[in-house]
Amino acid sequence: MTSTDLNDTAPLDEQDCPEGNYSPDSPCFGKAAGRPRAADKAARREALLATAGRLFLEKGYSKVSLEMIAREAHVAVRTIYVKFGGKAGLLNAIIANGREHYMSGMEAMETDQRPMEVILGDFALRFLELVSLPTFNNLHRMVVAEAKSTPELAATFFKAGPQLTRDELGRFFARPDIQAQLRDDLRPEMVPVFLINCLMGDYMTRLLFPREQGLHGEELRARAAEGLDLFLHAVRR
């Protein structure tokens, strides 16, 4: 891999940019008319992530190369390196995108001034909606299947998903006003884990079996409320 592969601003030679080849899929798009607009860049990024996600789920993480992704997404391999650093970076961005879609409507838990049970109720429903997605479950199956042979896959998944959620919840429960409502004998690092376990129960285990269907609508809201009620009864003073 040369420095040109890693540098988004590296010069392009004639074979990179044949005359008239200024389509959006070309590595030299924008050469004649300036840089692409922010909306165009965002759309290309989303298209690249969607393509990579589809290939990972269809073929398996370890069987998909950056060249394969670049070819399907009509981008240069070096673009993937520059923007994401490689396959692990792409997977991290894919997971972050999915999580953001479901959590973006929430006010930041560290600053949200609503009552604790309201904030956690909002989180609980969004979290269960996210883990109920077929794409999330397919991703989870892939990680379980390839974790031993591809450690970077398991590490990336955990850091971008479960660990990020635990950290966010940990900061929320560390707020002085929230901490004052919790039992003194609780280990801080276990409170987020206990909340997730109360919400999930054996739900994820069942979802990993292909014939199981995720909950929707009122059933999902009832499960979120039931799990949160169990959690609050256990941790409140």
Give SS3 for 39.
helix
Please tell me the pTM assigned to this model: 0.76
Q: What is the pLDDT of residues 7-17, one digit of tens each?
A: 343 333 333 33
For tokens 């989180």, what's the residue? 123
pLDDT at 25: 38
Cβ atoms of residues 13 and 44 within 8 Å? no
Cβ atoms of residues 130 and 203 within 8 Å? no
- Write the burial class of residue 181 (CB in 10 Å: 0-12 exposed, 13-18 middle, 19+ buried): middle
Q: What is the pLDDT of residues 25-35, one digit of tens each?
A: 333 333 334 55
Q: Which helix (H) or strand (E) holds 155?
A: helix 151-160
Q: What is the pLDDT of residues 109-140, one digit of tens each?
A: 999 999 999 999 999 999 999 888 888 888 98
Q: Delineate the domains of the chain, giving CATH numbers in brackets.
A: 3-85 (no CATH), 92-235 (1.10.357.10)
pLDDT at 171: 96
Q: What is the pLDDT of residues 205-228, one digit of tens each?
A: 777 776 666 678 899 999 999 999
The type of residue at 186 is L
